[in-house]
Homo-oligomer: A and B are copies of this chain.
């Protein structure tokens, strides 16, 4: 599902992991360890929940021994926090920039935004983090707050700015931007959660994510009364 995983983004790792040391692969693995552990942990935490995941399983999935896990993360809880933090690394800056540059209609912007959410997050291991936070928010309040600041709020902000753009340009009609934001958010969150829970079980409805996303954006855009932008004010005078 996930490409080889650049998720171990910024750890101890001194530099370009190969050349520096003269040892080649073995050395490399050593430096990759924390990342592999975090990956394994994410996988299992999402699948079984924090409490039901055994430290030994994580180690085993990462291909190391139990002892090694505790060499890198002093505590299961520490591991959990690291997993969450690791997978939150602000993609929003990048996105904000991207939307700043966007030139087309706001409708297209929203379509593009939802589609790329699916491609970059939703379809990725990272979407599991959402499920994880849902499940464990009340057991790890500091983490939940962290998640609010790093993900929820920026996400809201981003969406809200898109909607605002649409309103400002006369493309959308939105009675209350705050709540409308959830109209964008909810379908994506629901998909993310569904995938990692009931979506895995026997008897689950068939659902093509891309189509689901497309259908939701169109429904939404219709709801927002999407239309071509009003001509710029300057062109009013004949």
Q: Which residues of A contact B (CB under 8 A)?
A: 47-52, 131, 133-139, 141, 144-145, 147-149, 152-153, 156, 175-176, 179-180, 182-183, 185-187, 189-191, 193, 196-198, 200-205, 211-212, 215-216, 218-225
Contacts and interface: CB of A to CB of B under 8 A. Distances in A.
Contacts of A136: 49
A54 to B, nearest CB: 11
A49 B205 contact: no
A116 to B, nearest CB: 19
B52 A198 contact: no
8 contacts: A49-B49, A137-B197, A138-B200, A153-B205, A182-B215, A186-B191, A222-B224, A222-B225
A211 B137 CA distance: 24
A138 B201 contact: yes
Q: Which of A186, A216, A224: most chain B CB closer than 10 A?
A: A186
Nearest to A201: B144
Contacts of A224: 219, 222-223
Given A135-B197, A138-B201, 16 more contacts: A48-B139, A49-B50, A134-B197, A134-B198, A138-B196, A141-B202, A145-B203, A148-B203, A175-B218, A182-B187, A182-B216, A183-B187, A186-B191, A219-B223, A221-B223, A222-B225
B149 A203 contact: yes
A204 to B, nearest CB: 6
Contacts of A48: 138-139
Nearest to A51: B51
B205 A152 contact: yes
A176 B222 contact: no
Contacts of A137: 197-198, 200-201
